[in-house]
Structure 1
Amino acid sequence: MDHSPAVRCRTAFISDIHLGTKGCQAELLLEFIRELECDTLYLVGDIVDGWKMKSGWFWPQAHNDVVQKILRLARKGVKVVYVPGNHDDRIRDFCGVHFGGVVVARDAIHEAADGRRYLVTHGDEFDGVVQNARWLAFLGDWSYRALLALNTHFNRARRLLGLNYWSLSAFLKHKVKDAVAFIDQFETAMADEARRRGVSGVICGHIHKAEIRDFGDIRYLNDGDWVESCTAIVEGFDGEFRIVDWLQARKAFVARPLQLVEGDALAA
């Protein structure tokens, strides 16, 4: 019996996987990649968490499987572009180099099926905290991982009660005034950079919040993360973009495999 991929698209964008950390949802990402069929895959930064790996080695088999699966896609002819972020910034030293069919680029210009052009960049270079107060960024990263650890125990108890996953940090991002203001400033800065570059929009990651919204004539797209939300941005063969929420999409897939290009069943 032939197996049809659950997510069939022209282009896929994923970021903020944070391989090398306990918060990485590698098993869910593997599930997504196995059900993904695309011509081009963009890895939009923070794929490997070099910050965390400096303080201790954590690399279970599932993390290695993610790397191998991505390399396998490249060997099968998928164009894979790796745009590093702040947590894997050392890889920026290798821009222009190919690793097993994966090309490393500081940023990229993606031309969609409808001819529109989009800047693809992680986004940390437009984050004032990362650029101007690196110590504060490290402190924030430590606090975020502590929050994730707390959230893991909380959700373990929720599963025992038959309840769905709930993200404490996502809740706080939406409720805390300063966090909301930071996200808004970041999104505006990204849209401004796209406008300066003369493109139709920007596709980024960094802030772990999947979003598609318009800033006047500029479209802002953020593919989220694979630590909490497990989201990706995909481009259909018509040049339109959607957010795939894999935590929700996999429920539909378990019941009946679906193709993204034939409907919005897998899109948030």
Structure 2
Amino acid sequence: MSATPEPKHYRALFLSDIHLGTRGCQADLLLDFLKYNDAETIYLVGDIVDGWRMRRSWYWPQAHNDVVQKLLRKARKGARIVYTPGNHDEFLRDFLGTHFGGVEVQADAVHTTADGREFLIIHGDQFDVVVRHARWLAYFGDWAYVSALNLNTLVNIVRRRLGLTYWSLSSWAKLKVKNAVNFIGRFEETLSAEARRRKVDGVICGHIHHAADHSDWGIHYINTGDWVESCTAVVEHHDGTFEVIRWIDDRSAAEAPARIGRARAAA
């Protein structure tokens, strides 16, 4: 990464759907993000490690190990790290209530913001009927998703050679297919209803790889997105406000002056 962002410190940082152990994981971009962004509390909101994929084939390059070490280093330096497992790292649900290297493993959590609001922190797969009741279909969907990501990689190799920025084929398709849009809406509504049932002010979740921050269902709904397609994270500022950070967009904007300078020099 050529441009150097200003280091930032937040009250809380929320990450999910990193999928370490898969070829689609954007570990290098996540390492870049973690280098410049820190927080008092870091929530790992599920699917951090992809146990589904690793059971079928082992893939663990150095960058994936570096992500783990970077997070553990933040814990050693005083950050509180809470890990709420998802469906891809569901093996960790056998260790709820335990600590690994300073990382707390919990089924879910409640985060209190600087201005006193309470947010349910949960991955969200518990409310996905396909994951709960049709596991074979979930596995098939996972295979189809990985295939789309492989195609997405080829598309972006061509785009880079043409001097274009990163573009997510699967995210575009997700928002174009009516059933996918309806699924996202139902998921958001269901998670909002669960937050209301638990008498909290909002919910922060992951699972569907679609970052969002809104109150469309009468309660504050936030989704952290993912580090496979969109490279997004959610942060709480020290005044209690939330922000979705799209690291690919931020880095592209930061590097734009350098790219323009190189283009002018070449001309």
Tell me the TM-score normalised to structure 1 length.
0.92
After superposition, the Cα gap between the structure-2 partners of 1:216 and 1:169, relative to the gap in structure 1 and judged at 3 Å, is closer
- The 5 Å alignment of 1:155-174 reads 155-174=156-175
The letter for the 2-side match of 1:29 is L
The letter for the 1-side match of 2:203 is V
- The 5 Å alignment of 1:188-227 reads 188-227=189-228
Query: Any conservation in 2 of the 1:200–1:217 contact (CA below 8 Å)?
Result: no
1:131 maps to which residue?
Answer: 132
Q: Distance in 2 between matches of 1:58 and 1:16?
A: 17
1:233 maps to which residue?
Answer: 234
Q: Distance in 2 between matches of 1:151 and 1:69?
A: 27
- The CA deviation string for residues 71-92 of structure 1, in whole angstroms up to 9 with x for no partner, is 0000000000000000000001
Query: Any conservation in 2 of the 1:230–1:245 contact (CA below 8 Å)?
Result: yes
After superposition, the Cα gap between the structure-2 partners of 1:144 and 1:4, relative to the gap in structure 1 and judged at 3 Å, is closer
Shift of 1:216: 4.8
1:264 maps to which residue?
Answer: none
Shift of 1:215: 3.5
Query: Any conservation in 2 of the 1:28–1:230 contact (CA below 8 Å)?
Result: yes
Q: Distance in 2 between matches of 1:51 and 1:5?
A: 37
The count of aligned residue pairs is 254
Q: Distance in 1 between matches of 2:254 and 2:109?
A: 32
Q: Distance in 1 between matches of 2:95 and 2:251?
A: 35
In structure 1, the residue corresponding to 2:140 is in which secondary structure?
helix
Query: Any conservation in 1 of the 2:165–2:252 contact (CA below 8 Å)?
Result: no
The letter for the 2-side match of 1:27 is D
- In structure 2, list runs of 5 or more residues that go unmatched: 258-267
The letter for the 2-side match of 1:230 is C
Instruction: Say whether residues 1:148 and 2:149 are aligned partners.
Output: yes
1:29 maps to which residue?
Answer: 30
Shift of 1:8: 2.1
Q: Distance in 2 between matches of 1:4 and 1:207?
A: 29
Query: Any conservation in 1 of the 2:5–2:254 contact (CA below 8 Å)?
Result: no
Instruction: Say whether residues 1:58 and 2:59 are aligned partners.
Output: yes
In structure 2, the residue corresponding to 1:54 is in which secondary structure?
helix
- The CA deviation string for residues 184-213 of structure 1, in whole angstroms up to 9 with x for no partner, is 000000000000000000000000000001
- The 5 Å alignment of 1:47-126 reads 47-126=48-127
In structure 1, the residue corresponding to 2:56 is in which secondary structure?
coil
Q: Distance in 2 between matches of 1:5 and 1:160?
A: 29
Query: Any conservation in 1 of the 2:46–2:206 contact (CA below 8 Å)?
Result: yes
Q: Distance in 2 between matches of 1:220 and 1:101?
A: 28
Q: Distance in 2 between matches of 1:161 and 1:189?
A: 42
The letter for the 2-side match of 1:227 is V
Query: Any conservation in 1 of the 2:189–2:217 contact (CA below 8 Å)?
Result: no
After superposition, the Cα gap between the structure-2 partners of 1:143 and 1:255, relative to the gap in structure 1 and judged at 3 Å, is closer
Query: Any conservation in 2 of the 1:22–1:58 contact (CA below 8 Å)?
Result: yes
Instruction: Say whether residues 1:176 and 2:177 are aligned partners.
Output: yes
Shift of 1:250: 2.0
How big is the alpha-carbon RMSD for the aligned residues of Structure 1 and Structure 2?
1.4
Shift of 1:166: 1.1
Q: Distance in 1 between matches of 2:162 and 2:139?
A: 35
Q: Distance in 1 between matches of 2:84 and 2:34?
A: 18
- In structure 1, list runs of 5 or more residues that go unmatched: 257-268
Query: Any conservation in 2 of the 1:191–1:215 contact (CA below 8 Å)?
Result: no
Query: Any conservation in 2 of the 1:14–1:223 contact (CA below 8 Å)?
Result: yes
Query: Any conservation in 2 of the 1:13–1:41 contact (CA below 8 Å)?
Result: yes
In structure 2, the residue corresponding to 1:40 is in which secondary structure?
strand
In structure 1, the residue corresponding to 2:184 is in which secondary structure?
helix
In structure 2, the residue corresponding to 1:137 is in which secondary structure?
helix
Shift of 1:254: 5.0
Q: Distance in 2 between matches of 1:175 and 1:254?
A: 30
- The CA deviation string for residues 4-37 of structure 1, in whole angstroms up to 9 with x for no partner, is 8533211000000000000000000000001112
Percent of aligned pairs with the same residue? 59
In structure 2, the residue corresponding to 1:248 is in which secondary structure?
helix
Q: Distance in 2 between matches of 1:125 and 1:53?
A: 21
